[in-house]
Amino acid sequence: MKSSKRKLALFSGLALIAMALAAGYAYGYVYGGLIDMNSSQDTYRNLRSSGTLFRYGMVSWGAIVLLDLLVAGSMYGFLKEVHPRLSALTALVRALYAFILLAAVAHLVEALALAEAAAGATEALLALQRFETIWFQGLILFGFHLFGLGLLSVKARFVPSFFGGLLLFAGCCYTGIHLAKIALPVYAPQIEFIETIASLPMALAEIGFAFWLLIRGGKPLSFRPVDSR
Question: How far apart (Å, rounded) are the C-alpha atoms in residues 79 and 53?
Answer: 38
Asked if residue 33 belongs to a domain, the reply is yes
Could you say which DSSP state residue 220 is in? Answer: G
By residue range, what is the domain housing residue 159?
A: 2-218
Q: Encode pLDDT of 164-181 as tens digits.
A: 999 999 999 999 999 998
Query: How many independent structural domains does the chain possess?
Result: 1
Asked if residue 140 belongs to a domain, the reply is yes
Asked if residue 130 belongs to a domain, the reply is yes
Does the pLDDT of residue 2 top 80, yes or no?
no
Q: Where are the alpha helices (DSSP H) in 30-120?
A: 32-34, 40-49, 51-79, 84-116
Does the pLDDT of residue 101 top 80, yes or no?
yes
How would residue 225 be classed by pLDDT, with cut points 50, 70 and 90? very low
Q: What is the pTM of this model?
A: 0.90
Asked if residue 77 belongs to a domain, the reply is yes
- Looking at residue 152, its pLDDT comes to 96
Contact 204, 7 (CB under 8 A): no
Q: Encode pLDDT of 127-170 as tens digits.
A: 999 999 999 999 999 999 999 999 999 999 899 989 999 999 99
**Mean pLDDT within 202-212:** 92
